[in-house]
Amino acid sequence: MSRKLVIDPVTRIEGHGKVTVQLDENNRVTDARLHVVEFRGFEEFVHGHPFWEAPMLLQRICGICFVSHHLCGAKALDDIIGAGYASGVEMLPTPEKLRRLGHYGQQLQSHTTAYFYLIVPEMLFGMDAPPEKRNVLGLVEANPELVKRVVALRKWGQEVIKTVFGKRMHGIASVPGGVNKRLDARERDRLLKGEPGLLSVDQVIEHALEGVRLFHNFHEKHRREVDSFAKVPALNMSLVDEQGNVDYYHGRIRIVDGNRDTVAEFDYHDYLEHFAEATEEWSYMKFPYLRSLGREAGALRVGPLGRVNVTRSYGDNAPLAQAELERFHDYTGGKANDMILHTNWARAIEILHSAELIRELLEDPDLLEGPLVIEPGEAAWTGEGVGVVEAPRGTLLHHYRADAQGAITFANLVVATTQNNAVMNRTVRSVAEAYLGGRAEITEGMMNAIEVGIRAYDPCLSCATHAMGQMPLQVTVQDAEGRVLDERLR
């Protein structure tokens, strides 16, 4: 008789999801799915709002990568008023660097949260360790000094965000055409040099390096397990600059194959020409793919692993991260890395890269002086804008349209976790086949392996849930005694 295994909820991710694995009578995996079971609706309820509210309203979709949503919205607003890249306008140096600073700060704190709080417990204790030990509290007990450093590291990233946006979470800085404040010397210096209770940027880089070493130590001891855990081939996607290197804030979209050869590169404003999206009745999350290659071959991987596969170099301004990137590329002989647990290696490298980029920016005088806003005038109004940034979890896109009065008439969000949907499902299947298939007994550790595979993507299901066409929605009306009065399934 066939069996269905259900992991509900999937833990230590952002949002609510569940996994079902279908086994036949011989315990062979016949199907495996990651279901996103929550429903949001931001794209709908932003309709009618004044266009300049969009980045403030839509950043509330997430409590982790709100800066990315805020900046995506800001770039779209730049386009709408005719001060954006779509109109061929380059952002002024001061606002662009301030936006970048906040963005890198968020990447540092978001990756730190995912890597150290959610993923490292597995690395230190193993996937078979009991759940009550295999968590951040277990980490506190086992290595309190490491946890103190991690807390300090994350705090510093949050202070960068607060310095730029005014609050640690859901702050305000970007306005159409620029930002509303620059840094003063005192704000810059406390991030550069630290103060009691706050790290200096050099200490941050040291802690970031420790994160990379942590992965190497784990990798050396468990090389076979890490490398063979799940290998999921897919295309890799990232924003890149003119040299083909990752740019977390702005660039062209580049997609590379397993040989790291470019299969597509385009201006993100043309995304509708290049991407299509499929839907499944069992999930609120859509399945984007590269239109030219179709749903299977065109599935994309974004996020740390996708980015380090795409980027050629980090350039001269991040020498420590550059050395790690070269080691990463050498490990697969220059080919794209498909080993899912190496996403954590890539994430650790990006923490270091973010820290080095922040140090460079903090030494830039443009943060302290220069005009803040481009005012292109009413004639430049376009009424449509697209913003793309590399969010911690991957390529994030916001697309808005506004009517002549300024009311939003259309909003489309394609978030990183959605881009990863197909490869996450492939990962679930791969891990399920390796760990569950054909076994007579299913253990906690085997079930957890599936979560480990999902967690490597650090998915944010709260951001990714979508409504398109007829979504599976069940509404039940009960009376006070719990009797079902009406039930609708759509």
Number of residues this chain uses to bind other proteins (CB under 8 A): 22
For residue 398 the two structure tokens come to 């916001």
Are the beta carbons of 50 and 374 closer than 8 angstroms? no
248 binds other proteins (CB under 8 A): no
Nearest of 189, 191, 185 to residue 162 by alpha carbon:
191
Nearer to other proteins, 15 or 178 (CB): 178
Nearer to other proteins, 160 or 422 (CB): 160
Q: Exposed/middle/buried for 363, CB within 10 Å: 0-12, 13-18, 19+?
A: exposed
Residues 100, 75: Cα–Cα separation, whole Å? 12
CB of 106 to other proteins, least distance (A): 16
**Residue of the chain from 5, 57, 151, 380 that contacts other proteins (CB under 8 A):** 57
State the binding string over 163-182 for other proteins (x if CB under 8 A, else -).
--xxx--xxxx-xx---xx-
CB of 50 to other proteins, least distance (A): 6
Nearer to other proteins, 56 or 124 (CB): 56
3-state secondary structure of 133: coil
Residue 482 CB coordination number (10 Å): 6
- Beta strand 300-301 pairing with 235-240: parallel
Nearer to other proteins, 129 or 169 (CB): 169
Sequence-separated (6 or more) residues with CB below 8 Å from residue 304 = 111, 343, 346, 347, 349, 350, 392
CB of 180 to other proteins, least distance (A): 5
Nearer to other proteins, 45 or 266 (CB): 45
Residues 455, 212: Cα–Cα separation, whole Å? 18
**Residue of the chain from 56, 239, 389, 456 that contacts other proteins (CB under 8 A):** 56
Residues 251, 450: Cα–Cα separation, whole Å? 34
Longest dimension (CA), the chain: 71
State the binding string over 347-386 for other proteins (x if CB under 8 A, else -).
----------------------------------------
The span of 160-168, 215-223, 229-237, 423-431 binding other proteins (CB under 8 A) equals 160-168
Residues 482, 420: Cα–Cα separation, whole Å? 39
Q: Exposed/middle/buried for 366, CB within 10 Å: 0-12, 13-18, 19+?
A: middle
303 binds other proteins (CB under 8 A): no
CB of 53 to other proteins, least distance (A): 6
**Residue of the chain from 93, 138, 258, 406 that contacts other proteins (CB under 8 A):** 406
CA geometry: angle at 112 spanning 393 and 140, to 5°?
135
**Residue of the chain from 1, 26, 48, 469 that contacts other proteins (CB under 8 A):** 48
The span of 47-55, 87-95, 96-104, 437-445 binding other proteins (CB under 8 A) equals 47-55
Nearer to other proteins, 95 or 251 (CB): 95
Residues 3, 127: Cα–Cα separation, whole Å? 23
Nearer to other proteins, 267 or 366 (CB): 366
Where in 180-209 is the site for other proteins (CB under 8 A)? Answer: 180-181
Sequence-separated (6 or more) residues with CB below 8 Å from residue 224 = none
Nearest of 117, 203, 125, 127 to residue 159 by alpha carbon:
203
Nearer to other proteins, 208 or 367 (CB): 367
State the binding string over 71-110 for other proteins (x if CB under 8 A, else -).
----------x-----------------------------
Order of all β-strands in the sheet with 29-36:
3-7, 17-23, 29-36
405 binds other proteins (CB under 8 A): yes
Nearer to other proteins, 387 or 394 (CB): 387
CB of 405 to other proteins, least distance (A): 4
**Residue ranges in contact with other proteins by CB under 8 A:** 48, 50, 52-53, 56-57, 60, 81, 165-167, 170-173, 175-176, 180-181, 405-407
